[in-house]
Structures are given as structure tokens and as C-alpha cells.
Amino acid sequence: MSKKLFKAVDRYIENLLGKEDKALKSAERQMKKAGIPPMNVSANQGKFLQVLARMANAKKILEIGTCGGYSTIWLARALPVDGHLITLEIDKDYAAVARESIIKAGLDTVVDIRVGKALDILNELDVEDGGSFDMIFIDADKPPYTEYFEMALKLSRPGTVIVADNVVREGHILDEKHADEKVKGVQRFNKMLAGNDKVTATIIQTVGVKYHDGMAIAVVN
């Protein structure tokens, strides 16, 4: 089976169930204009995250890795009127682009963008003790994925859904001697997840316009 076929099926599903509206298309254009790499999830993956958030009845969502705000919009739209989303981004320029797109999407009263190192902000959230999150999406730098997950657990409750993107890396996770730090990071994360008795988890492979990758999906026990 070819990448061309995977992309075609992805577009087919998108046209049926995950169409982008003006706000989402604008967010992608603004990212491209600002020179932000296309690291965001696809439209179908965004819709998948939105469905997971609705299934979890999420009122409070945490996103680790804002990038240009594309996935943020998908997730925030799953929230009820009194819902809230906190998203973390280390790059102030990326955060500025994301903020503009979130405002255009009419979600600026729902979304709180915090700029800085994710682990530092996660520790601040833990100290603030503002209550647990119902869903947490991890899509940031890969080497500290394990540490992000461990902090996510501190900010969770039984039933919290934690999703981590890009944990298959086009199959490179199978190569134990792979030199790429991103691959090493998700290999370490995947092994940690397998032995973590605080969650019930699995990894789902994904194919499509974002090629071959995968998402780890966990529910806190």
C-alpha cells in the first residue's frame, strides 16, 4: 500500500467528517506565513482529539505544545460553555501566532496560553493546585516525553485521558540503536508507558497526510 493511497483515504475521511472551517484554514496559513514548521496534527487527527475530549466529558483540558494553535482550536471546541483549556508553548513567536488564530476562532475567553518551559509551567500548575484536568494532550519536544507524562499524572484524576502524539516515528522506534533524539525520547516513553500501572494504555498507529506515526492513549486508573 502506498503513501498516496493513505493520503487519499485521509482526505476522504476529512471531507466526510473532519472538514476544516475558515478559522482552522486560517491558522494553518498563519503558521506557514510565520515560518512555523507543519508540526500540527492533521484535520482528521484534530477531529479525533475532539471526539476523545467529548467522550471524556472534558471541562478542563491541558495541552503541552501549542505550536500555531491548530490542535488547540480543535480541542477547545469540544469544551462546554464553562470549559477551560490551558496550553503551553516555549516559543513566544509561535505563541503569538497561536493567540491570533485563537482570537479569530472566537476562543480567546476559553484558552489560556502560557509561554515558557513546559516542565517549569507544569510544576507551577501543580503548586497552584487548581484542580485536575479531564484531558491532557502531549505534542511537544520528544526527549522529555516521559517527564511530561509523569507531570501529567500529577495533574490528573481517575478517568483523565492522556494522549501523546508522534510515538511511532515512521517505525523508527523498532531500531534500538537509532541515533535521533526524538526517536530515543519516544522509545523511552513507550517503555515507561508499558510498565506504568497508574494507567490503562495503548498505542494506535496512524497513517495519512502526516505519513506513518502513532498516538499513545491512556486513561488514569
Domains of the chain: which residue ranges? 3-220
CA-only gyration radius of the chain, Å: 17
Q: Give the pLDDT mean for 87-113.
A: 98
What is the rounded CA–CA span in Å between residue 79 and residue 27?
19
Asked if residues 97 and 73 have their Cβ atoms less than 8 Å apart, the reply is no
109 Cβ neighbours under 8 A, 6+ residues apart: none
pLDDT tens digits, 27-70: 999 999 999 999 999 999 999 999 999 999 999 999 999 999 99
Which helix H or strand E contains 86, and what residues bound it?
strand 84-89
Does residue 184 sit in helix, strand or coil? Answer: helix
pLDDT band of 130, cuts 50, 70, 90: confident
Does residue 1 have a pLDDT over 70?
A: no
The domain made up of 3-220 has a fold known as Rossmann fold (3.40.50)
